Structure 1
Amino acid sequence: MSTEHPNQFALLGQRRFAPFFWTQFLGAANDNVFKFAFTLMVTYQLQLDWMPPSHAGLVIGALFILPFVLFSATSGQLADKHDKARLMQLVKSLEIAIMALAAWGFYASHVPTLLACVFLMGLHSTLFGPVKYAYMPQHLNERELTGGNGMVEMGTFVAILLGQLAGGILVDTPVVGPHHVAWACLVLAVLGRVTAQALPHSPSTDPGLVINWNPVSETWRNLKLAHGQLAVFRSLLGISWMWFFGAVFLANFPAFAKEVLHGSPQVASLLLAVFSIGIGIGSLMCEMLSKRQVEIGLVPLGALGMSVFAIDLYFAASGLPASAPYSVSAFLAVTAHWRVLADLALLALFAGLYSVPMYALIQLRAQPTHRARIIAANNILNALFMIASSIIAGAMLSAGLTIPQIFLAVGIANAVVGIYIFLIVPEYLLRFVAFVLTRLVYRFKIVNDQRIPTTGPAVLVCNHVSFVDAVLLMAASPRPIRFLMDAQIFKTPVLGWMFKLAKAIPIAPAKTDPATYEAAFTAARAVLEDGEMVCIFPEGGITRDGTLQPFKGGVMKLIEDLPDVPVIPMALGNLWGSYFSRVEGGKAMVKPLRRGFWSPVSLKVDEPMKPAQVSPEVLRERVASLLMASST
């Protein structure tokens, strides 16, 4: 891992990321120059009895996706078994060979050869996909993954946009257009191989892996493996749904521009440009909004925006008067069209907010030895969902629905899918609540958050000031925390429901409820033995006067027989006096907005301690010192 960087753009100046970024960028651009130019050539320039123009896009798209279904399982194994830099270099060498063959196909206008090259470029992308997403966690630390994924997503969609624009312009050149496309694709392939040569060594994560060449059994095995980590598996489904959602819009842009917006082909390109720029901006925003950690609280926000603006797009596009085909300038001169463009841009922006944290979560939590295979399984799911979207959208059109009505249906379906995902994986919803609380209600500053470990067991020890202490700690942590919490809090409306969703462990005083007390520590130790984090509030309850209370001995019971589990003191500062603390006669939540919006709150994290160094008195002194430093 490398040193910290000020923001995600700084990664472009570092060898561990820049060659990878440009290799990916050039590959995505080349895919789209080639596919789009070939599609236009078959549609407008060649007359083929066996492939009418209306079917050209579908055939080329299907051929490109087919290798993802057939070979993703194998490509995931190869990425886990071999050095990822070397594998990417070999894949880019393959791209040069494919583009050399395609160049002959363009010069000879030999459509079967070009169709074969479409399939081979799909194979190239299939081989590159798993190694791409498995490469980043090897070279970016946990606090850089969101920014790195955002850069890659942004770069990919910009490359798609530029590739399609370049392919369209080049192939449209009279007589020699296909020749220009041939040379452009070959040059892009060579440039991609040059940038791949600069990739740093990326050692195998499972060199002893024996390749299973049966794609069906291997895919099923990978899905079962991913299912063992439910948050990872359901994130795979969430990403695949996003591709289903996006494919409906991307596939219908040409017809939407022509039949609904009454625009020229250039208007369809404008829609693609707006969509791509929106995705890019949303992807880049993720690091800023997440404060450089994997913030899956952005996923519900993204899902909400996707539905809102997909539904509004239906209303914006309904009832537009018929017209002669608009040029881009004439299209932009109509005020009603700006709402359509705004809906598309914001829909795409929120799709970026939705997808980037999910990719980062998979990279962070998937087993390193199986990471590429899980990404490969994700690619298969993505392909199947995109195929399903084409079939379902086609069936809806055949049933008489208009394109805006399809957008409306997909927007409503997205809301239903989102609610389902967030209820079965409550971590997304809880992190969203924490995200809102720390961005709107409080101005949350975290000091030394890098001391919260991203892997392995740990006991977090914190003062207890308010009913939302646990929510704030969730927002500060890069991974889930299991909280030992007073059983009485579970009776609090809304918050009690949230803590049940968070699988907080109820604890009661040993004197009044010894069974609950013992069960709590048994459950907490099991969490630690599984390599996860537990947080305990050793004061035993929320402070009633704002002062730090004596620490009880529960923490000692928690860490007994666990000599290697670090104990990390933390202190929440400036929460006393806020709406969620007990101020008015010992009651909380009686005066909304008592301190207004964005009141400053802090969390300070101390150095980890070994269990042998721990006692209640020492921990209290550590926390008190952190609080004193917060007040000065």
Structure 2
Amino acid sequence: MSHSQFSLLKEKRFLPFFITQALGALNDNVFKNALIILISYKTAQNLPLNSAILVNVAAILFILPFFIFSATAGQLAEKFEKSRSIRFVKLAEIIIMSLAVIGIYTNSVNWLLFVLFLMGFQSAIFGPLKYGLLPQHLHTEELVGGNALVESGTFIAILLGTIIGGALLGIELNWELYLSITLLAFSIAGYLASRKIPHTPAVVPDLKINWNPATEMVRNFKFMATDKTVFLAILGISWFWFYGAVYLTQIPNYTKSTLAGTESVATLFLTAFTLGIGIGSILCEKLSAGRVEVGLVPIGAFGLSLFGYDLYLANTASGLEPIYNFKEFLVLDNSWRVLLDAVLIGIFGGLFTVPLYALIQKIGNQKHMSRLIAGLNIMNAFFMVVSGGFAILLLQSGFTIPELFLATAGVNLLVAIYIFTKAPEFIFRFITWLLVNTIYRIRDINLQVVPKHGACVLVCNHVSFIDALIIAGYCKRNIRFVMYHKIFKTPIIGTFFKMANAIPIAPAHEDKNLMQSAFDKIASELEAGRVVCIFPEGKLTPDGEIGEFRKGIEKIIQRTPVPVVPLALKGLWGSWFSRFNGKAMTGIPKKFMAKIQLVAGESIAPEDVSAEMLFEKVSHLKNS
């Protein structure tokens, strides 16, 4: 990228929306955290249910409206202009916060739980507007950065809301007044910010609204299921909300009964968790280098389980009384370990979710984006409601809260394995990301010439078995590679290319049918506007020099005329993956952190393409 993601904060197409959604998240969490602490500490003795159970009931009440109203909200978001709709939503927030003030002064937990349900309703309407608006105002290469800012801004707002909500409940005198003023002030400020959001046209203004939430929900699920990758991304995000809801909901009682901490310790722990998610979200932009990098998702999934398990090991106590404030807690054994685990769970959660949101916005049908997000919200709501039931079931069965965390970390591994088995491209991108960021020092030159949109063919010299991995790691578009069928069948490397949906090809004298099938698949990919990469030599170089380019590239371009971008890999000859010693990948690797260059030449018009000319272009790039 030519600019930092933070430059979006200077632009009117993003900043007012960013402030609006951040203030909404801030206000939500001031109220929710104040209510949870009110239930857990201030009115715990007067409640009809155990506070640990009632906290989970509150979580379910907030999420239930997403399940009921999201299908309708998605339709409304696509039918009407979005900035106006957001203003109505923010006006509703002012009314809801006014009702909250009544509950605060009457000290009615039941009334406040009703207000929590209304907040969930307002958030359910806002969700499809929020994520449907982003792809209308951001370019494809800005989606990761934009989503990272939204996610980090949201969780910084959660962090501040958590602190403010806890601090206001900690005031001895007139806490009701200060809490009421804060809730109303943030809701009014959010409405004022929403008035600056730029006009965002309706994407389907003639849409006929289906007011039946049940049938519309079914239609949403059917639509989500039409694209396997999008559906699995939605499943991954929803699972994270299950995982996160288990942790966030239990934190007040965890700090009370396991850490023996007061309200200030609960606020400190929530701060660590939400700060971690903000850090992880920002890291996504840095680690993904401006592309939608789903290779970060397996890293996030593994980290969630690892540090969820370590949180269990750090403290397994239960049934304690809250006697330590945050200063006293920080000098206890293992206190910093517990807080570090909370931060790291948050960081890996950010790495897990941000690429998935960006992936949905990138490859999902733009005319159905808001309804797709509505379907996502329904799935999120379902998973979060189930998470509340899951937590209640285990706690009622005798599990302690640390044991509940351990069980959740274990189930997370099973869910991750299922998702990555069904969508192996996530693992392929992970391996690619790991390769280009650890084993080699790679420099890309002039890759901006690869078109950001539309079909094109990349041609490159073939030096090693990992050429495609390096190209995939550094080009910001998803690429379908054409591989010699014998490489495609190689036990280890071939597995990676099967994950990446590479297209196997063979010369006519080896397998004429496979060759024709490959040409058909290439044409289909190019007609769909995608990028295809081929290695016209047809085999790995045996001596480090570029071999003759075969005529297949000419047949491809004659059938589907698209621009061709020449590439050259420099520095891989002599690596363990090349045929430097006659046979690749034998013996012990000896060359690490080698300097590799991936150089791109100017795009060539289809009418000018010939195998001989491309050979000269790639040779010049390699030797320059």
Normalising to structure 2: TM-score of the pair? 0.94
Amino acid at match of 1:12: L
Instruction: Tell me if structure 2 keeps the 8 A contact 1:64–1:121.
Output: yes
Shift of 1:323: 7.8
C-alpha deviation, 1:50, in angstroms: 7.9
Question: What is residue 277 of structure 1 aligned with on the other side?
Answer: 275
> Given the alignment, which residue of 246, 249, 254 partners 2:247?
249
Structure 1 position 201, deviation (Å):
2.2
Q: Indicate yes or no: 2:582 matched with 1:582.
A: no
Matches of 1:303 and 1:557 in 2, distance apart?
43
Q: Equivalents in 2 of 1:478, 1:557: separation in Å?
A: 26
CA distance in 2, matches of 1:318, 1:39: 23
Task: From the superposition, tell whether residues 177 and 571 of structure 1 become closer, same or farther in structure 2 (CA, over 3 Å).
Answer: same
The 3-state SS of whatever aligns with 1:569 is strand
Q: Distance in 2 between matches of 1:492 and 1:335?
A: 52
Which amino acid counterpart does residue 576 of structure 2 have in structure 1? Y
Q: Could you tell which deviates more after superposition, 266-275 or 554-563?
A: 554-563
Structure 1 residues 40 and 246: CA distance shift in structure 2, 3 A: closer
Q: What number of residue pairs does the alignment pair up?
A: 623
- What's 1:86 paired with? 84
CA-to-aligned-CA distance 1:320-348 (integer Å, 9 cap, x gap): 99787222222211232222222221122
| Aligned counterparts of 1:87 and 1:625: Cα–Cα separation in 2 | 56
SS at match of 2:141: coil
Aligned to 1:627: 622
Q: After TM superposition, list the pairs within 5 Å mapping 1:539-554 onto structure 2.
A: 539-554=537-552
Question: What's 2:4 paired with?
Answer: 7
Cα distance between partner residues in 2 of 1:115 and 1:414: 30
| Other-structure match for 1:596 | 592
Mark the CA change 1:125 to 1:314 in structure 2 (over 3 Å): closer, same or farther: same
Matching of residues 415-564 of structure 1 within 5 Å: 415-563=413-561
CA-to-partner distance for each residue in 1:441-493, whole Å, 9 max, x for gaps? 11222233343345433222221111001111221234432221111113322
Tell me whether 1:26 sits opposite 2:27 in the alignment: no
Partner Cα distance (2:166, 2:9) in 1: 29
* Candidates 148, 157, 169, aligned match of 1:150: 148
Q: Amino acid of the residue matched to residue 400 of structure 1?
A: G
* Residue 607 (structure 2) aligns with: 612
Flag the 1:5–1:456 CA change in 2: closer, same or farther, 3 A.
Answer: closer
* CA offset digits 1:155-198 (Å, max 9, x no partner): 11121121122123224434532222222111111111121122
Report whether the alignment pairs 1:136 with 2:131: no
Residue type matched to 1:625 in 2?
Answer: H
Matched position secondary structure for 1:335 = coil
Q: Which stretch of the first structure deviates more once superposed, 307-316 or 363-372?
A: 307-316
Separation in 1 of the partners of 2:447 and 2:79? 34
SS in 2 for 1:560: helix
- Distance change >3 Å, CA 448–CA 87, structure 1 → 2: farther
| 1:109 CA displacement | 4.6
Instruction: Give 3-state SS (helix, strand or coil) of 2:508's partner.
Output: coil
Q: CA deviation at 1:366?
A: 0.5
Unpaired runs of at least 5, structure 1: none
Q: How far apart are 1:433 and its partner, in Å?
A: 0.4
How far has the Cα of 1:567 moved from its partner?
2.3
Query: 1: distance between equivalents of 2:500 and 2:161?
Result: 45
Counterpart of 2:217? 219
Q: CA 1:106–1:263 in 2, change beyond 3 Å: closer, same or farther? A: closer
Q: Contact 1:463–1:623 (CA<8 Å) still a contact in 2?
A: yes
**Amino acid paired to 2:253:** A
Q: SS in structure 2 opposite 1:513?
A: helix
Cα 1:627/1:208, change in 2 over 3 Å = farther
| Alignment match, 1:332 | 330
Cα distance between partner residues in 2 of 1:566 and 1:214: 48
Give the residue type in structure 1 aligned to 2:572.
Answer: L
Deviations 1:303-362 (A, max 9, x none): 111111111222221369978722222221123222222222112211111111111101
Deviation at 1:39, TM superposition (A): 4.2
2:510 is paired with a residue whose SS is: coil
Deviation at residue 295 of structure 1 after TM alignment = 0.6
Task: For 1:317 and 1:389, locate their aligned partners in 2 and report how far apart those are by CA, in whole Å.
Answer: 22
The alignment-based identity, stated in percent, is 46
Conservation of the 8 A alpha-carbon contact between 2:144 and 2:290: yes
CA apart distance, 1:529: 2.8
How far does residue 24 in structure 1 lie from its aligned partner after superposition? 0.9
Q: How far apart in 1 are the matches of 2:109 and 2:238? A: 31
Distance 1:451 1:75, change over 3 A: farther
- The match for 2:176 is 178
Q: Is the 8 A contact 1:43 1:53 kept in 2?
A: no
Distance 1:320 1:117 in 2: 32
Kindly provide the amino acid, as one letter, of the partner of residue 267 in structure 1.
V
Look up the match of 1:572: 569
8 Å Cα contact 1:82-1:203 kept in structure 2: yes
Higher mean Cα deviation, 6-15 or 464-473?
Answer: 6-15
CA distance in 2, matches of 1:68, 1:497: 40
Aligned-pair CA distance for 1:427: 0.8
**1:110 deviation in Å?**
5.7
Between stretches 613-622 and 433-442, larger displacement belongs to 613-622
Is the CA contact 1:5–1:11 (under 8 Å) kept in the aligned structure 2? no
Q: Alpha-carbon deviation of 1:385?
A: 0.5
Which of 140, 157, 160 is 1:159 aligned to? 157
**1-structure distance, mates of 2:109, 2:348:** 39
The answer to whether the 8 A contact 2:427-2:499 is kept is no
- 254-263 or 25-34, which moves further after superposition? 254-263
Given residue 585 of structure 2, which amino acid in structure 1 is its aligned partner? M
Taking the aligned partners of 2:509 and 2:402, their CA distance within structure 1 comes to 64
TM-score after normalising by structure 1: 0.93
Q: 1:172 to 1:256 in 2, by over 3 A?
A: closer
Moved more, 196-205 or 102-111: 102-111
Deviation at 1:415, TM superposition (A): 1.3
Tell me the distance in 1 between the aligned counterparts of 2:438 and 2:448.
23
CA contact (8 A) 1:44 1:53 kept: no
Farther off after superposition, 275-284 or 501-510: 501-510
Structure 1 residues 171, 493: closer, same or farther in 2, change over 3 A? same
The residue correspondences of 1:280-299 to structure 2 (distance < 5 A) are 280-299=278-297
Q: Distance in 2 between matches of 1:186 and 1:322?
A: 36
Which residue identity lines up with residue 13 of structure 1 in the other structure? Answer: K
- Which secondary structure state, in structure 2, belongs to the residue aligned with residue 362 of structure 1? helix
Q: Is the 8 A contact 2:276 2:344 kept in 1?
A: yes
Amino acid at match of 1:158: I
Change (3 A) 1:155 1:56: same
Q: Which residue of 1 aligns with 2:188?
A: 190
Letter in 2 for 1:78: L
> How many Å separate the matches in 2 of 1:248 and 1:324?
21
Root-mean-square deviation over aligned CA pairs: 2.3
Q: Which amino acid aligns with 1:476?
A: Y
**Kept after mapping to 2: 8 A contact 1:257/1:264:** yes
**Out of 343, 346, 350, which is 1:345 matched to?**
343
Name whichever of 211-220 and 115-124 sits farther off: 115-124
Pairing 1:99-114 to 2, within 5 Å after superposition: 99-109=97-107, 114=112
CA displacement at 1:5 relative to structure 2: 5.3
Displacement, 1:509?
1.4
What is the distance in 1 between the residues matched to 2:390 and 2:43?
30
C-alpha distance in 1, partners of 2:458/2:41? 65
